[in-house]
Chain A
Amino acid sequence: MNAVLLIDFGSTYTKLTAVDIDNDEILAVASSETTVKTNIMDGFYKAFEVIKAKTCDLDIEYVEKLACSSAAGGLKMISIGLVQSLTSEAAKRAALGAGSKVYRTYSHELSAREISKIIEEKPDIILLAGGTDGGNKDCIIKNAEALSGKIGDIPVVVSGNKNAVDDIENIFEENGIYFKITDNVMPRLNILNVEPAREAIRTVFMEKIIEAKGLGEAEKEIDNIMMTTPTAVLKAVNLLADGTNEEEGIGEILVVDIGGATTDVHSISKGEPTKSGVVFKGLQEPYAKRTVEGDLGMRESASSLYESAGFVKMKKFMANESIDIKEKCEYLSRNIGKIPKTEEEKEVDETICTTAVGLAIERHIGRVATEYSPMGVIYSQEGKDLSETGYVLGTGGAIVKSRNPVKILKSGMESIKDPKYLKPSKPEYLLDKDYILSAMGLLSESYPNKALKILKKHVVNIG
């Protein structure tokens, strides 16, 4: 039979999924620790042996081996724009949508201090934006000049004012900078155009970053590391929502993905106002939007999660209020390999997880503000209105492996009490029970219909 092997080189685990593409079935899954320090393929072979053992009675030919990666620190990015709420924000959204961790966002002309700071942070890619097409070009050109000669071999994706592109091209060529020029992230005021920048980032990731991170070894053995893991997840979620030409999707969806260090939230929705009389303000929202909360996570970020949420918020999720949750969070952030075993440890993990769900979704979704004017009450909306979004999907080990995933998702959502937040009003809850989102995102590159069928089978409705 013909099969495709999908590989996710994660920060901790390398996860393999073998898919029978003749019958659209998952054959086997296996995982092993990621071995980026020695040879990335050691972990792969270990997991592959498990897959072979599980499928030993089948005659399998792997027609494709595709991979995504968030190993070796994932994709670290810095984004630079002109005005903080406009091109800087647009650049940040493009970088996040490309599956990166955005360490910092800069605005206006960069100072020498800021440039030293950028170099100190060792980003994998810099995204340089600024100015609408035909708008301000001085700032982006000055920033290109200031960066060149300082950043060495850090690749730059340029996604700013088209009228500045020729000058920037000259500057970067003279200084031997590795760069890609693409369409403006904000071609007109408040109009967001993130796709070209996302694609350019992905190209640089494939051409430069994989080798630089010591993942190049993998590409001798498998076909390609095609994208970052978050990009693969976003692709899968997008496919599940929108469907293909042959099969319908399930419609608007909100996804929360909890990891040890970060919590990702994805939404597939235009997010336009659903009620009449509400005016949308600010920068347009990306249809497929990803946000990352670096302070919310199960392990590395457990103590920063406590700092953000506080005791009062967290105790609402605990049946046993005598647990010293602050102490537990600090303990877990020092012991990141801890797997919960006792009743109390499980409850602590569930509390942290529920808190992360609530806060991460609260920060992702839009808000409506009430203003009292001489003309009566008026409403303005910033961010996405997801009140008519039908599904909330949970993924990530902490949710998938918990005793009660639906309770975590529900209580997290219900903890967002303020009516100004435009959260899904009556969602159904879904679970990525076999942890296949990133694999299906990869599969969808060549076989979207098959990936969608498998997603519909393995993403289950839990209430």
Chain B
Amino acid sequence: MDRQVDVVVVGGGSTGCGVVRDLARRGLDAVLVEKGNLTHGTTGRMHGLLHSGGRYAVSDQKSARECIEENRVLRDIAAHCVEETGGLFVKRPEDSEEYFQEKLEGCKACDIPVEVIDGEEARRREPYLARDVEKAIALPDGAVDPFRLCVSNAADAREHGARIETHAPVTDVLVEDGEVVGVEIEHETGPGKRVHREPGTTEEIRARHVVNATGAWAGNVGEMAGVDVEVRPSKGVMTVMNTRQVDTVINRCRPKGDADIIVPHETACILGTTDEEVDDPEDYPEEEWEVDLMIETLSELVPALEDARTLRSFWGVRPLYEPPGTGTEDPTDITRDYFLLDHGDRDDLPGMTTIVGGKLTTYRMMAESISDHVCDALGHEATCDTAEAPLPGSENPARMEALMDEFGLRSPVARRSGQRLGSRADDVLGEYDPNPIVCNCESVTRAEVQDAIGEAGSDLNAVRLRTRASMGNCQGGFCTHRIASELAEEYPEPVVRDAEDELYQERWKGQRHALWGEQLSQAMLNHLLHATTMNRDGDPANLDGEVDFGAFDAGADAGDAGVDGSGGETGTAAADGGRASDDAATDGGRADGDAATDGGRADDDAATDGGRADDDAATDGGRADDDAATDGGRASDDAATDGGR
């Protein structure tokens, strides 16, 4: 039987990571289980706004007060995750003056420091702002990197003895004698650090208390325990721009509405968002009009957005909750407050607590209150220090000059690395010499990638979240293979291949909705490069048959290959299975060459299958690469028919 721990926290978003850190620091034995990567659900799909509280200053002053309080805490304890951009609520001529005043009064009432500036001053601070912006309220909004924040929380928890288990979905909540006693999880890819292609195993983790911090998924976990948690998931779209058109958070000062915020985030800007209730947090439509709406509406604030390059779009699902019976129609009216559901009191099922609602900015406060609750339940006495103890990386700021001088980094590389790594920069960057750049767009060096691999194993999406590698304008086109090759020393070839493919596909997925102009060119270039240099459109290594790599580059049979030239033309046509005319066009002048190398055996190729792929490769000899290149645009099943070609 598995040993019992104090607490299992389900959900590796900001709340779950915050809770597990808090509990671990209070000396409890805690385990965090997450079905994907850390931030896999909602946390990784937000616009990265560190609220000043201004957004809720009129509609929800309790939340607004909590936001400004936590805003100050995070600037301190999570300095390396926060960029103090400042924010503006801007008023256009058609926006209500009355609301502007209400907003101003609301902020003052919530102790949010504000300053009213005229349009000219606003444009001096943010030159891309529209010329008809009349005035603005300046307040201390900021940008926060949710990935780094969660990872730092988890890292601190681990330092304090917690176990962090990712890629481990909960398959059951264990209920014995009317009490929750633990969870059963499935290791999708093996326990511990991720290892691909190992059969999944399940594990029962028995615990004195279970915290359900799964946000929009809380209902699913509740269901496993037999309780009803009425989360009302609401989707919102966010569009990522290639560069920062603004360096300040820009909010539209109006009561509510879609597409009213631009958040500078690392090297990019994130446009947000919409608010639309969905049935299933896993399965909802992602539609292009939503992206169009973002760009069109926010161009009223920043005209340059209209022609600027978009990188990708993503949707997130808010874990909105309201107590049963409230019956709010419009999801934008549902409170942003958080709720702690004690299932012992509520459903007569002790041993489990669910936390829903809330927002990233107040994650620590939520974690504190749920940890207080859990400690109460377990009779554990300890004080919370998460508001004072800096997260790993935020102990002191990185020393930029040192990074440049000691590690020979180019200045922007040192700056971005220093910002990402915070006080860990020295340790991480000192590990590798030479330390080449692996991801150029975001200036991520080998040392940083290796550090992330050390933490996250072979899951390159987890490496991405830690480093931002592949999150720049090429969206992995020029670096997925380089990042993957950093795995090669430690992991076997198939693992590296899968990891690369997974990252590449993830990058592609997010670009589909915003694919025009420059990003379309980028996607085509990426595709062709990967197709022609790595056979991504039909990788022989993904076929069932063994690939005889030795047969390439004028391998064993290359000598006889050219001997028999007769019948080559028909051979090519037959081998290509009915695509003869296409081929003639594509192959152009190389038809003769093909004929010679294919020899008379091409007919056999057509008749047989992948089993003969090796021989094909042998006869094609050194020409295999060229063929792959020409075949670039074909569907991958064609490549399969072609065997080794």
Asked if A and B bind, the verdict is no
